[in-house]
């Protein structure tokens, strides 16, 4: 029997319409629902080792201030997948505009460079999602 993986840090996003968000996250982005509940509307999502929680905004929620679109200003959520091309194909087929087109980037990490292919898009509430595919490391020039 396989052990169920639980990520030690899982962001929870407040969303305006859980049903709409589930269509986006499961139907388009490829997440599956590990579990969900109705009161308040909530879903725990996963894809590979990426885990994310969505909860519909409600009066007793976690909001510390007014929620105004786009949600999540000042943050992007990086999610590493084995391959991002299948996701890019689904986004293109659905005519979803990307916030940033796929690009290969190399970030300094000590004396090495760590590479990733990445793209950014916004979810229905405006959260900025960065999907990446790890490309490995190479020596810095």
The full set of domains in the chain, from first to last, is 12-59+72-139 (3.10.180.10)
What pLDDT shows up at residue 59? 82
Report the chain's mean pLDDT, rounded to a whole number: 95
**Which residues, including other chains, have CB under 8 Å from residue 126's CB and lie 6 or more apart?**
69, 70, 71, 72, 73
**Pairing, β 100-109 against β 76-80:** unpaired
pLDDT > 70? residue 21 = yes
What pLDDT shows up at residue 17? 97
**pLDDT tens-digit readout, 83-129:** 999 999 999 999 999 999 999 999 999 999 999 999 999 999 999 99
């Amino acid at each position: 029997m396989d052990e169920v993986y639980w990520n030690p840090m899982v962001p929870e996003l407040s969303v305006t319409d859980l049903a709409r968000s589930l269509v986006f996250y499961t139907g388009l982005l490829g997440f599956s629902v590990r579990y969900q509940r109705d009161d308040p509307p909530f879903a725990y999502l996963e894809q590979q080792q990426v885990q994310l929680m969505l909860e519909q905004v409600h009066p007793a929620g976690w909001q510390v201030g007014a929620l105004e679109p786009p949600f999540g200003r000042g943050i992007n959520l990086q999610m590493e997948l084995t391959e991002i091309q299948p996701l890019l194909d689904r986004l293109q087929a659905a005519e979803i505009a990307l916030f940033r087109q796929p690009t290969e980037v190399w970030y300094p990490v000590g004396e090495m460079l760590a590479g990733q292919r990445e793209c950014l898009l916004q979810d229905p509430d405006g959260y900025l999602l960065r999907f990446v595919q790890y490309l490995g490391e190479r020596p810095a020039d």
